[in-house]
Amino acid sequence: MTADTSTTPAGGPGAGPARTRGLDVDPATRETLEDYTLRFAPRHFRTWSTGTVAVSALGGIAYLADFAIGANIGIAYGTTNALWGILVFAVVIFATGFPLAYYAARYNLDLDLITRGSGFGYYGSVVTNVIFASFTFIFFALEGAIMAQGLEVGLGIPLWLGYAVSTFMIFPLVIYGMKALSTLQVWTTPLWLVLMVLPFVYLVASNPDSIAQFTAYRGEDDLGPSLGATLLAAGVCLSLIAQIAEQIDYLRFMPPRTPENSRRWWTAMVLAGPGWVFFGAAKQVVGLFLAVYLIANVTDGASFANEPVQQFLEVYQGFLPGWLALTLAVVLVVISQVKINVTNAYSGSLAWTNSFTRVTKHYPGRLVFLAFNLLIALVLMEANMFDFLNTILGFYANVAMAWIVTVASDIVFNKYLLGLSPKAPEFRRGMLYAVNPVGFVSMAAAAVISILVFFGGLGETIRPYSPLVAVGLALVLPPLLAIATRGRYYLRRTDDGIDLPMYDEHGNPSGTVLTCHVCATDYERPDMTACVAHDAHVCSLCLSTDKTGEHVLPA
């Protein structure tokens, strides 16, 4: 049997649903077909080119939080320590993000589905979904706060009202799923690039002394080079490690890799996957540069040097009329906030929905958790989280690093070097154990111990080294536990009951179409298992919502 492409239209993901044979489809199935929420992304749905996927994915890193993070760590630890911290951040992010991005692009799965089969188990990965959902509402709140600052400066809107505006305007933009998001990202990226790069280039060209001021800056506490300060700065930056999960929400729509497109495929995967960190690190450096400029050259500049809207406004005013400078600064902030927060809201709603569906076996609809995620973000904004940014991000970084590095370690060591974890990812209920101690225990231990270190629970001497503790434990524990358990908790069963190949001749997921006997909808081979009780096939979502377990294959 070959893949059915008769309903595949032009225009990319979101344009063509699976076939439903003319029957009414239940609401859960219909909504997940918009962008294959909670599912493997099938071949007929992935009609984007590799370049379009890359541009869409990189559009999601347009956030201004990097400018605030760079400014904050520079003010706290000085330029030298901040730059070394940013370098540590970039190296760790790229090294850990590469295997995850490859798996997402190669096998067309989001990070939750990858995590299930990479050491956590079917229910064990629920906790990582909560970690990722936390990432989305923390950074939604951070970006929303930056936008509110822009609205206050440009339009005189009070901060509390600006927080609400920046939250509620996102909801309608995210309702329509990945197709609408990709269009938004592609069309807004050129303007965003011009507005962001132009003021920095002008400042360097017109004020060369700013470079010397930048390199000499020692922070508010007059700190020299220090390993401890470098690692504290890196810890704040590493809170962004979970950004790879949002990149993966786009990368899972990569087209199949073939000999003809192999070079383009690898280039797009690297740039849009772990390569996002190069752009993120550059923005952090620019944010630090602009903050130092304001502190050194603007009256009372230290009071607002970490606010991106003020950074750009001050530079724009150097070569533009006041009204135009203010307009462009506000436009930049709004575009940046919308570009990233539609992704934050979308990815967060998927994470919450996925966890809830697995635990309760009921699909409530993604929009319920979209609203829930936005509400949490609004509460954080109203609580003025911007004033406690370093502490919040430093704490979160330890948890996020424990998760991401654990999954990366399992893929690199347990799958490829030791062969104790199956190389092909598995995510379907019935095929996995409920909890796999290899990943779950590794992540829990790395997170708990690094958090204790971060808050000084194991002594002030090692407190700055919590990022190293999180990364080190998460890197080493998965292979040790896989060896100790002999890899027995990865697969509950190895046969899914379907006598058809899972992959094509190039190693891509098969495009063969099968019909789910529960929802009467056609899905591709990787999304399906056999249902022995009914001598038929059943899709992954129907397995997830099966309250009685009658469709789940026995151990």
102, 271 contact by CB (below 8 A):
no
pLDDT, residue 302, reads 78
- Please name the amino acid found at residue 24: D
pLDDT, residue 196, reads 77
Q: Can you tell me the distance from the alpha carbon of 433 to that of 489, in angstroms, rounded to the nearest whole number? A: 6
| DSSP string of 324-377, one letter each residue | HHHHHHHHHHHHHHHHHHHHHHHHHHHHHHHHHHHHHS----HHHHHHHHHHHH
Nearest to 475 by CA among 84, 112, 119, 86: 119
Nearest to 485 by CA among 437, 540, 434, 453: 437
Q: Can you tell me the distance from the alpha carbon of 438 to that of 486, in angstroms, rounded to the nearest whole number? A: 10
Query: What residue spans of 171-306 are helical by DSSP H?
Result: 171-174, 177-206, 209-216, 227-237, 243-251, 262-272, 276-297
Q: Can you tell me the distance from the alpha carbon of 18 to that of 25, in angstroms, rounded to the nearest whole number? A: 11
Query: For residue 539, what are the β-bridge partners?
Result: 528
The half-sphere exposure of 542 on its side-chain side, counting CA atoms within 13 A, is: 26
pLDDT, residue 387, reads 66
- Please name the amino acid found at residue 158: P
Tokens found for residue 330? 């506000």
Tokens found for residue 347? 């990815």
Q: Can you tell me the distance from the alpha carbon of 368 to that of 364, in angstroms, rounded to the nearest whole number? A: 7
Give the residues of the chain that fall short of pLDDT 50: 1-25
CA end-to-end distance (rounded Å), the chain: 28
Q: Can you tell me the distance from the alpha carbon of 328 to that of 281, in angstroms, rounded to the nearest whole number? A: 24
Q: Can you tell me the distance from the alpha carbon of 530 to that of 513, in angstroms, rounded to the nearest whole number? A: 13
Query: For residue 524, what are the β-bridge partners?
Result: 513
pLDDT, residue 179, reads 56
Beta strand 513-515 with 536-539 is unpaired
Q: Can you tell me the distance from the alpha carbon of 551 to that of 555, in angstroms, rounded to the nearest whole number? A: 13
pLDDT, residue 20, reads 44
432, 491 contact by CB (below 8 A):
yes
| DSSP string of 499-521, one letter each residue | -S-SB-TTSPBP--EEEBTTT--
Q: Taking the C-alpha atoms of 244, 247, 249 and 252 in order, what is their torsion angle to the nearest 10 degrees?
A: -100
- Asked if the 48-398 domain carries CATH number 1.10.4160.10, the reply is yes
- Cα 323–329–335 angle (5° rounding)? 130
pLDDT, residue 182, reads 58
pLDDT, residue 167, reads 85
- Please name the amino acid found at residue 480: L
Q: Where are the domains of the chain?
A: 48-398
514: left (phi over 0), alpha (psi -120 to 50) or beta: beta
pLDDT, residue 32, reads 55
